[in-house]
Every structure is written in structure tokens, then in C-alpha cells.
Amino acid sequence: MKIVERLMFLVIPSCRETQKLQSRNLDEKLSLWRRSSLWMHCVMCGWCRRYGKQIKFLNRVCRDLPECGNFEKGEGLSDEAKGRIEKCLCEEKDKG
């Protein structure tokens, strides 16, 4: 059993390595070898499977942040700034 385990460690990356690869996998296409080792680890390890899904999800929502972030809840534009922008838009409209 010990020998089999040792052999597995040679082929299958540890959780530490897996998490690094999972992150890198979001930035570039990994080699086939790396992708398979990632896959092998995740077949056996529920923690890393879940970790991988969660960071992938967080990456995706960050791209949506500009549109979906609830920025309206902040202080918002001041009345003074709104007036200034409105005036500028009107001037531009008149020009056009």
C-alpha cells in the first residue's frame, strides 16, 4: 500500500500544487500533461474539486462586477455634479 501511495504521489500533484495549477488554468491553457494530472487529483479529492469550482465562479463574477455591482447604494453623484453634467450634455445637444 505504501509503495502504491508513493507512486501515486509521483504522478498526481498534491493539493498545494493542484490549487496553484487550478488558478493558472484560469489564465492560460495548460499542457495536456498538467491538465490530466489536475483531473486525476480532482477525481480523488473533493476539497480541491470544490475549491476549483469556487475560484472559477469568482473569476466569472468579477468580470460582471462593473455591470452588476450595486454601486447605486454608494453616495452617488452630488446634485452639483449632476447639474454640471446635465448642462454640458445640453450644450452638446444644442451643437448637434
| Cell numbers linked to 49 | 474539486
The CA-CA-CA angle for residues 37, 41, 47, to 5°, reads 145
Residue 15 binds Zn ion, judged by CB under 5 A: yes
Residues 6 or more apart whose CB falls under 8 angstroms from that of 41 comprise: 12, 13, 14, 15, 18, 48
Residue 38 near Zn ion by CB under 5 A: no
Q: How far is the CB of 77 from other proteins (least distance, A)?
A: 5
- Is position 43 an interface residue for other proteins (rule: CB under 8 A)? no
Minimum Å gap between C-beta 32 and other proteins is: 19
User: Which residue carries 445640453 as its cell?
Assistant: 90
- Assess 19 for contact with other proteins (CB under 8 A): yes
User: Which DSSP letter does residue 70 get?
Assistant: -
Q: Which of 11, 36, 39, 59 touches other proteins (CB under 8 A)?
A: 59
Binding site for Zn ion (CB under 5 A): 15, 45, 47-48
